[in-house]
Amino acid sequence: MASMQTHHEDLKVIVDNTINYFEEVCGTPAECGIPYLMNQEKVLMDYSAIIGISGIRRGALLFTAPRPLIRELVEIITASDSPEEQDLQDMVGEVANTIAGNARPVLGSEFMISVPVIIRGELLGMQLAQPASIVPINWNAHQAFLIIGLE
Amino acid sequence: MDKSPVKGSSGVFRTQIRLLILAAILVQFLVAIFIFARAVQEKEYQNLRDQLTIQGIGFIHELDDLNLSVIHDRELSRGELTGHPLYQESTNRLLEFSEVFSIDPSLLYTMVRSRDGEHDYYFILIGDGTYSLQKDDPFYLSEEVQPYFDLAYETGEIQYPPVYTDSIGKWLTVVLPMKDADGNVYAIHEPVLRVEFVDALVWEAVWNAIQWPLAILLIGLIAISALLNRVFRPFNDIVQLFRKSRAQDDIDMSSIKATGEFEELRKSLSFYIDASRSAKRETQEILQNVQQGLFLLSSDLTIGEIQSTQTRKIFETTKLTGIHFDALLKQFVVPKLHEAIVDFLDLMFSGTIDESTLRDLNPLKEVECHLPLDQGGFVTKHLSFEFYRAQSLANDSELEYVMVTVQDVSEEVRLAEELAQRKEAEQNQMELLMDILKVEPSALNDFFADAQEASDEINVRLRGTKNDDNLHTLVNDIFRLVHSVRGHASMLGLPNIEQASLEFEESLAELRERSELNPRDFLDITFHLEEVSRHLKQLEEITDRLSRFRPQTPQQDITQSLLDTFKSLVKDTAAQLDKEASLDTSDFKAIPLSDTQRRFFREIVIQLLRNAVSHGIELPGEREVSNKSSSGSIRLSSQEISPGQWEVIIRDDGRGIQRERLLEEAQERGLELSNQDRDSDNLLKLMSTPGLSTAENVDISGRGVGMDIINQRVIEMGGSLEVFSDEGHFTEFRITLNQELSLSS
């Protein structure tokens, strides 16, 4: 049980890191919403990236965000008014990379973190173990989700 | 293998040969240049001689304070010069034609005897035809006397570099100091010299010049080529053969043309290569077909060049040669294991411990590895490593290599795990089945419906809550729901769900104590909710399967079954607390209830009965002191007091409600109490305060949420709840239900 609690703490740090990413990169803080369990609903938004986790617990972390959020992020970071599609996709990869990068030292040797895979649209054969926890991330009037599905 | 002596020596040898050839060509080139230069000069002199004109000759016989007097001055015709020593090739002692190189008048005298000079144009000194010095002449050329340059300059009108205009002639006086036999020095005013510039006929000169160099070059090349063909090419072919023999099999020694010692060498090498080729082919066959990873580790833990094909497949990489084994391991095993294997390999190489003993200590006998893939991501494999000391053939004493075999046992491990999981699952399911079989099906269905509803409600509440809502209220609400599920599970004897709910409660209790709550703290809630949901799902699957075999239970049996469950709950709860208690249900009459009401009703009664046992009924010893029977008695009765109006009473003969203790705790928790709070109505209110409990054992009912749930549920059923108590004697809960109203609504 103690170890399960520890994992919960680790996962909280991942959520914190994700939240902090927005403040560090854009200067505007993001806010974590009340997490809840994912049912059968479709959660994938316009841009998503999935990070596989194996080791003591298996499953995945999924970051999914609507186009306006990603677009605004790109605009802030690149100071460009008309980002291209590729920039948007790169951006979601960058966010996921940062999440994975920050997760790696936190989760330690008991977890293995994969390189993020960018997903567009529907996710077939989602690797998220069910039921997964959904953490809403609110930023600049947009809402993204960090979904944690571990066995 | 790269450091084979063959390659090394052949490399050095080739470099030497190249340098030698280069040096030979360079020497040839220099010789050619030299010959060319001489030839150009030669040709030019020849041209110049043909064009000579004598303008005049003068003499001085003695040097008198540098006042020179011309003693003879006359024109000479060309014919008169015939046979003049200066005009004849290589015969004149004074000024030999071929030695006149200088074009600088100031150096004229000295340069006469110098062979230094590189010139585009040449000037010619023409001497007197009438005057000649012979060996027996009283005058001879003195080397001791310095020349009188000043004189030379008197008429030195020649500029350097001389600007060539068509046949420019200048007079120049040259003084040659001479001594007679008695040692008297004379200055002989040499023939007045005509200086003339002549253009060289280049094409002739060039042809003259290149004849010899060309011949030498040609001969040289032929010689070198012959040498290369005869000596170096066979040698080089043999060296190449060595190299090829490492890379491919289809080489043909007979293609090399060699003679003499090289032929002998070729034969020896041919033998060697055939033998090594055959050995190599066999080795490759083995390496390609062996179903294990196979490679050698040197003492610095680098992976050797030769690996079995399977090795690269297992490690998901082709880049293994020269890689440090510990660096490779670091990528996919946990650090502790990595340290252990480095120590283990140290021991392997040190040779101090017996190999078979050491192999028992192998930390990589079966290890889960997360291997990074080139295209990103990783794959998890279970690998089994074995290590063997490989004694070197060359050196018996020193251990140079450790042979490593590695096998991918993922499939075996997966099957074993699956088998174990299946066994465990079957065991769990069997236990769950046994637990479930004890429970009356409708009760189980009710529980499942309750629990599922509670779980859904929790999730709906979580989802619907904004960050600025009262998060403590949310925690309290969730607590109530979980507590109710736990109570229900406990009553039905479903230990898995009870345990998961208890852990959930503990986590919630911790959150409830916090003064400030952060949305991320609710992650714990979702994780616990996941856990409970999983158990419920498991339960649902089994219940579904069971329902196909179980007949529907009639209503009266449902009531009886419920009462039986209550009785065992009381008994079990008491036993857990080292108490004795029994439930009397003889005055209980079945109440017409809807499914939801029945679930609520069950929940209420369960909680009240648990409270009665844990808070009300005393320990047997305590009871005896109070002149009570050691076994506590709880009575559950119901009656229809008016049409549609039902009254349910739960009464225990325990210690009653310890108001003072409750009040103390309320005060400790900062709840303000008035005198009115001390009557029974307000006592109920007090007892319903979230978080207030006086029970010491949290496993039974001491979560301090029971009463508020009960009260809320009674209200939800459209009823009311009253509490009566006499400290030391009894506690009675009276529930009044308006069934007509409830059922119609």
Q: Give the model's pLDDT for residue B649.
A: 93
Give the Å distances, CA to CA, from B555 to B559, B644, B705: 7, 19, 31
Residue numbers in A near B370 (CB within 8 A): 54-55, 112
Single-letter residue type at B123: F
Question: Mean pLDDT by 10-residue block, N- to C-terminus, for chain A (151 residues)?
Answer: 54 82 85 84 80 73 89 86 83 82 68 71 56 86 86 69
Q: Is B530 on the interface with A (CB under 8 A)?
A: yes
Shortest CB distance from B520 goes to which of A1, A32, A114? A32
What is the CA angle B122-B127-B131, rounded to 5?
Answer: 165
Residue numbers in B near A149 (CB within 8 A): none
Shortest CB distance from A34 goes to which of B335, B462, B503? B462
Rounded to whole angstroms, the Cα distance separating B11 from B679 reads: 109
Tens digit of pLDDT for each residue in B596-651?
777 778 878 888 888 888 888 999 998 988 888 889 999 999 988 888 888 999 99
Rounded to whole angstroms, the Cα distance separating B268 from B109 reads: 71
Q: Give the model's pLDDT for residue A22.
A: 86
Q: Give the model's pLDDT for residue B346.
A: 87
Rounded to whole angstroms, the Cα distance separating B76 from B78 reads: 6
Residue numbers in A near B534 (CB within 8 A): 131
Tens digit of pLDDT for each residue in B456-491?
889 888 888 888 888 888 898 899 889 888 888 888
Q: Where are the beta strands (DSSP E) in B231-377?
A: 293-298, 303-307, 367-372
The answer to whether the beta carbons of residues B581 and B613 sit under 8 Å apart is yes
Tens digit of pLDDT for each residue in B361-373?
888 888 877 777 7
Shortest CB distance from A133 goes to which of B336, B471, B526? B526
Shortest CB distance from A109 goes to which of B334, B377, B534? B334
Residue numbers in A near B533 (CB within 8 A): 37, 131
Share of chain B above pLDDT 70, in %: 62
Rounded to whole angstroms, the Cα distance separating B722 from B652 reads: 15
Tens digit of pLDDT for each residue in B207-258?
666 777 788 888 888 888 887 777 777 677 767 766 665 565 555 666 656 6
| pLDDT at residue B494 tops 80 | yes
CB contact (8 A) between residue B459 and residue A8: no
Q: Give the model's pLDDT for residue B634.
A: 93
- Could you tell me the pTM of the whole model? 0.47
Tens digit of pLDDT for each residue in B383-416?
999 998 887 665 556 777 888 999 998 888 888 8
| pLDDT at residue B652 tops 90 | yes
What is the CA angle A36-A41-A43, rounded to 5?
Answer: 75
Residue numbers in A near B459 (CB within 8 A): 36-37, 39
CB contact (8 A) between residue A54 and residue B370: yes
DSSP character string of B40-65: HHHHHHHHHHHH-----EEE----ST
Give the Cβ contact number of residue A78 at 10 Å: 12
Query: Considering only alpha carbons, which residue of chain B is nearest residue A4?
Result: B527
Tens digit of pLDDT for each residue in B559-600?
777 788 888 888 888 888 889 999 998 888 888 877 777 777
CB contact (8 A) between residue B530 and residue A133: yes
Return the higher-pLDDT residue of A53 and B162: A53
- Lookup: tokens for B603: 């929940």
Return the higher-pLDDT residue of B261 and B139: B261
CB contact (8 A) between residue B462 and residue A36: yes
| pLDDT at residue B655 tops 80 | yes
Which of B142-146, B233-237, B326-330, B696-700 holds the top average pLDDT?
B326-330
Q: Give the model's pLDDT for residue B633.
A: 92
Rounded to whole angstroms, the Cα distance separating B116 from B99 reads: 9
Task: Tell me which H or E stretch contains A51.
Answer: strand A47-55
Give the Cβ contact number of residue B393 at 10 Å: 7
CB contact (8 A) between residue B370 and residue A37: no
Rounded to whole angstroms, the Cα distance separating A101 from A93 reads: 12
Smallest CA-to-CA distance from B723 within B712, B714, B731, B713 is with: B731
Overall average pLDDT of the B42-57 stretch: 46
Share of chain B above pLDDT 90, in %: 6
CB-based contacts of B105-108 (< 8 A; 24+ apart in sequence):
B105/B152, B105/B153, B105/B156, B105/B158, B105/B160, B105/B172, B106/B149, B106/B152, B106/B153, B106/B156, B108/B152, B108/B172, B108/B174
Kindly state the greatest CA–CA separation across chain A. Answer: 50
Q: Is A101 on the interface with B (CB under 8 A)?
A: no
Shortest CB distance from A35 goes to which of B376, B462, B533? B462
Q: Give the model's pLDDT for residue B292.
A: 87
The answer to whether the beta carbons of residues B577 and B664 sit under 8 Å apart is no
What is the CA angle B688-B690-B695, rounded to 5?
Answer: 80
Beta-carbon pairs below 8 A across chains A and B: 79
Q: Give the model's pLDDT for residue B533.
A: 86
- Lookup: tokens for B67: 């006042």
Return the higher-pLDDT residue of B274 and B706: B274
Return the higher-pLDDT residue of B144 and B470: B470
The answer to whether the beta carbons of residues B620 and B630 sit under 8 Å apart is yes
**What is the complex's ipTM, to 2 decimals?**
0.84
- If pLDDT is split at 50, 70 and 90, which confidence band does B88 have? very low
DSSP character string of B559-620: HHHHHHHHHHHHHHHHHHTT--EEEE-TT-------HHHHHHHHHHHHHHHHHIIIIISPPH
**What is the distance in angstroms between the Cα of A70 and the nearest Cα belonging to chain B?**
23
Rounded to whole angstroms, the Cα distance separating B674 from B595 reads: 41
Smallest CA-to-CA distance from B52 within B83, B87, B80 is with: B87
Q: Is B589 on the interface with A (CB under 8 A)?
A: no
